[in-house]
Structure 1
Amino acid sequence: MGSEGLQERYINPYTDFGFKKLFGTDMNKDLLISFLNALLHGEQMVKDVTYLNTEHLGTQEIDRRAVFDVYCENEQGEKFLVEMQKGEQQFFKDRSLFYSTFPIREQAVKGKNWDYELKAVYTIGILNFTFDEKDGYYHHEVKLLDTRTKEVFYDKLTFIYLEMPKFNKTESELETMFDKWMFVLRNLSGLMERPAALQECVFERLFKAAEIAGFSQQELFEYEDSLKVFRDWYSVMKTAVKKGRAEGIEESKMEIARNLKALGVPIEVIVKSTNLSMEEIEKL
C-alpha cells in the first residue's frame, strides 16, 4: 500500500508509530530536546539526550512489566519518561506513579556503599482526554508538597500532564515555543502545510519527518498498521462508552479488552487502554 491511500499529509502523533517516529529515534532527537525545553519553560535546559530501554521488569519475577513510549536521560543523568495516553483509565494516576518508580529504582548502586542520592525524574503525560471538564487549564505540573507550608518538599520528582483536548489556541494566538508545540501535537494530522507561525528550524525538521510521502515502504506498512489499531481502539472505546452507561464499569472494560484482542491489538496496548492486567486479558 502506498501513501496515496491516506488522506492526511502528515502522520497522526497519537499513533504509537507516529509518536515514536517524531520523538523516539536518534535521528529526530532534536525534536524531543526542543519539546522538553519548551515544556520546562527554561527551568531545565536539555542540551542532549540518550535513549534508554523502554521495556522494564520489576526487581522480582512477580513484579509487573512496564513499557514506556519514550524513555531517555539528559547529559546530567536526569530521567525523562514521556507517554502518549490515548484514552482515560480508571487508575491512570496510579499507573503514572507506578511507572515513575522504575527510573527511580534503577538508579540504585549495587555492590558498594550508596548514599541514596538520586537524579531527577520527570514523568510527562500527553493526554488525549481531560481530568476535569470544569477546569479549563491544560498544563499541570505536580510535585511532592508540604501541605502546611505549601512549599515543594522534594524537587527531584515531577509529573507533568498535558490535557490536549483543552488546548484550543489558534495559529494567531501562538506566542511561546510551548504554545507552538501544543498546537503541533493537537493539530498535526489535520494540517496540509506548515503554518506560518511555525517558522523555527525545529518545526521545519518536524514537518519533514512527519510527511507521509517521504516514508519508505516499510514505514508506510508500519504506520498503516498503527493507524488501524488507533482507529479500531477509538471505535471500540466510543461504543463502550455508550454501552457503559447501562453496564457496569468493569464489564465495559472487559468488553473493550475482548474486542481489542479480537482485532489483534497488542496486549501491551490493551493494558494501557483498559488498566486490566496481562493475566486478565490473556484469559479472555
Structure 2
Amino acid sequence: MSDLLDPRNDFVFKRIFGSEENKDVLLAFLNRTFTESNEPPLTEIVLLNPYTEKDTPLDKQSIFDIWAKTIEGKLINIEMQLFNKYDIEKRTLYYWSKRYSSQLQEGQTYKELKKCVTINILNYSFIKNNRYHNVFHLREDHTGLELCDDIEVHFMELTKLDDQHIPLDGGLINWLLFLKGADKSNWEVLKMNEPTLKKAMDTLEFLSQDREARRLYEERQKYLHDEASMIEWATEKGMAEGEHKKAIEIAKNLLEMGLDVDAIAKASGLSKEEVSALASNNIAKQ
C-alpha cells in the first residue's frame, strides 16, 4: 500500500466512513461489528458530525471521531487511534459518560436516556488476550446478569490480526484487514467477502490520487506523530511521580509544549477542567 494513504489515519478514516455519501459503508461496517455482539442489524444510520471541508487536520476544533445515531436513538461513537495515548479505558468511560449524560434536557426523566456505544479501533495492543475484537457490558460478576444494556464498549486491535490469514467468508475481520493495510493483491478476496468494501477501497484510491487530500493527510500524519512523541516523552518524564502527581506533571509538560486542552486531558487522564485550571495558573505566574 505504498502509494495509498493509510486508512488508519483518523482524517482518512473519517473521509471513508464519516461522510454523507458513504453512509452505506459505515452502516455495513457497523452491522458486521454488532453481529459479533449478537445485536440485530441496523437499517439506517444518522451522522451527527459528518465530514465537511471545514475539518482541517491541524485545526484543534476539528473532531475526527465519528458520531452517529440509529433511528431508535442509540448513540454510537467510533474512534480510530493510530498511536497509544495511554489510559484509554478511563478516557473511554469518561467520554462515554459525557455523551450519555448530555442526552437529558431540563425536565426530562432518566427513562429518556438511550444506549451509548463506543467503538475504539486501535493500532496497538491493549487487552491482555488474543482476541482482536473485545466487547464490554455491565454485568453481575457471578451470574452474568446484565444490570443495564445502556453501555457497550468495543476494542478492535489491529495488531492482533494475522496479515497472512485472509478469511474465506464475510465478517468484521475483512474490514479490519482493509484498515490495517492488507496488501492490495488481497483486495479482490476481501471485496468478494464484503461487497460494500469496494466503495471504501474506491474512496481510499480516490483520496490517494487527489493532491489536496494527500497534502491534508500528510499534515495530519505529522501532527499525529508529533503529538505521540510529545505524549510519550511527557509520560516517561512523569513516570516516577504518584498517579495524580504524574498526571499533573504530564499535563504541565504538554501545556509547555502548546498542546490543546482536549488532547492534554486525553493524554493525562485529568479532566478538561483540571487542565484548564493548570493552564490558568501558568498564565497567572507569567
Q: TM-score, normalised by structure 1?
A: 0.75
CA offsets per residue over residues 160-211 of structure 1, 9 Å max, x none?
11122112253434543211012112225xx445622112431111111112
Structure 1 stretches lacking a partner, 5+ long? 1-6, 55-64
Which position in structure 1 is the counterpart of 2:56? none
CA offsets per residue over residues 54-88 of structure 1, 9 Å max, x none?
9xxxxxxxxxx996711110122111011123333
Is the Cα–Cα contact under 8 Å of residues 230 and 254 in structure 2 kept in the other structure? Answer: no
Alpha-carbon deviation of 1:44?
A: 3.0
Are 2:103 and 1:107 aligned?
Answer: yes
Structure 2 stretches lacking a partner, 5+ long? 51-60
Which position in structure 2 is the counterpart of 1:203? 197
Is the Cα–Cα contact under 8 Å of residues 233 and 260 in structure 1 kept in the other structure? Answer: no
Separation of aligned partners in 2, 1:33 and 1:17 = 19
Aligned counterpart in structure 1 of residue 45 of structure 2, from 38, 42, 49: 49
Are 2:173 and 1:172 aligned?
Answer: no
Aligned counterpart in structure 2 of residue 257 of structure 1, from 254, 262, 274: 254
Separation of aligned partners in 2, 1:269 and 1:15 = 16
> Structure 1 vs Structure 2: percent identity of aligned residues?
23
Is the Cα–Cα contact under 8 Å of residues 10 and 207 in structure 1 kept in the other structure? Answer: no
Aligned length: 259
Matches within 5 A, 1:76-155: 76-111=72-107, 114=109, 116-133=111-128, 135-155=129-149
Is the Cα–Cα contact under 8 Å of residues 123 and 159 in structure 1 kept in the other structure? Answer: yes
Q: Considering only aligned residues, what root-mean-square deviation do their CA atoms show, in Å?
A: 3.4
**Local SS of the residue matching 1:73:** strand
* Residues 273 and 27 of structure 1: CA distance in aligned 2, closer, same or farther (over 3 Å): farther
Matches within 5 A, 1:19-38: 19-38=13-32
Which position in structure 1 is the counterpart of 2:224? 230
Separation of aligned partners in 1, 2:78 and 2:161 = 19
Alpha-carbon deviation of 1:269?
A: 3.9
Q: TM-score, normalised by structure 2?
A: 0.75
* Residues 27 and 208 of structure 1: CA distance in aligned 2, closer, same or farther (over 3 Å): same
| Between 72-81 and 251-260, the greater mean CA deviation after superposition | 251-260
Which position in structure 2 is the counterpart of 1:75? 71
